[in-house]
Structure 1
Amino acid sequence: MSGKCVKQKNIMVLCRHVGVLLNYSGLLNEVGYFHVILCSNMKEVLSTVDKTKKIDCFIVDGFRIDSTDKQYIRRLNRRCLIKNFMLIGDLAFGDQPRLFTWAKTHCIPLLGISKQPVSASDLKRYLEIL
């Protein structure tokens, strides 16, 4: 072992770009998360959530505020299998307060919002509270 602290948390990542999705595996491993589930579409997410007991954090890369992404997040949150959500996207500065308000209104446990691209240090900072 390289001396890294291994975190026993289940992290699920949704990213529609396969190359970026694979990069998440490396980034999360770099900060000590090795229980990583990678999904390239919402169908995979829903199927995996049905088979998995608990997801500690669901990271959505490429989150779009005006899309069906918000509906999917609400749907997943209703199942109470995901403890935290992290949204990563090409968001304007003014979008963040709106998203936090939306999450609070719908009782969505929002861990954080970040701009693309995300770095290992960004992930570590957000995930260290898990």
Structure 2
Amino acid sequence: MRKGRSHVVVLSKSSGSLFGYAGALNELGYFSVRLCARIQEVADLLATGACFEYLVYDGFDLGKDADHLQMLVKHNAIVSIIAVADVNSQQRKKMILWAKAHRVPLRGVLQTPLRSSELHELILLNSLNTECSVL
């Protein structure tokens, strides 16, 4: 059973992808899922005091979206970020190192198109790590 915050926000420019993410997250027990098509929508939610266990950022591009992600993290209202991007292993490593250097809580980078099984595995792994670190 999942513990912690129960809210997830998904950021994707593709409305079809948004519904796919909602379905995959519902299967994991996340039923409070906010679907956003623009970064400003997420920023507005955070500005009103919303908190999220996960931000799933679909189509993340480090060169274009790094500043946006840093802006969102400044609210201290997102526990974990999952980036979904079309990257190779070197680019994935660069993203992870960037996130560490900028204190961005990036928990994983999944390949596009998203495979629900990979999302499930990453969230399960993060849940186990969180539970172990609490003990």
Aligned-residue CA RMSD (Å): 1.5
Contact 2:46 2:75 in 1 (8 A): no
**Counting helix residues as a fraction of each chain, which structure ranks higher?**
2
Q: Tell me the TM-score normalised to structure 1 length.
A: 0.88
Counting only pairs closer than 5 Å after superposition, residues 14-29 of structure 1 correspond to structure 2 as 14-29=11-26
Instruction: Return the offset for 1:52.
Output: 4.0
Counterpart in the other structure of 1:48: 45
Q: Tell me the TM-score normalised to structure 2 length.
A: 0.85
Q: Where does the alignment leave 5 or more consecutive residues of structure 2 unmatched?
A: 128-135
Counterpart in the other structure of 2:93: 97
Question: What is the count of residue pairs matched by the alignment?
Answer: 125
Counterpart in the other structure of 2:68: 72
> Percentage identity across aligned positions?
28
- Report the Cα distance in structure 2 between the residues aligned to 1:72 and 1:65, rounded to whole angstroms: 10
Q: Is the alpha carbon distance of 1:102 and 1:6 closer, same or farther for their aligned partners in structure 2, counting shifts above 3 Å?
A: closer
Q: Where does the alignment leave 5 or more consecutive residues of structure 1 unmatched?
A: none
Q: Is the alpha carbon distance of 1:49 and 1:117 closer, same or farther for their aligned partners in structure 2, counting shifts above 3 Å?
A: same
Q: Which runs of 4+ in 1 moved over 6 A?
A: none
Q: Which amino acid aligns with 1:78?
A: K
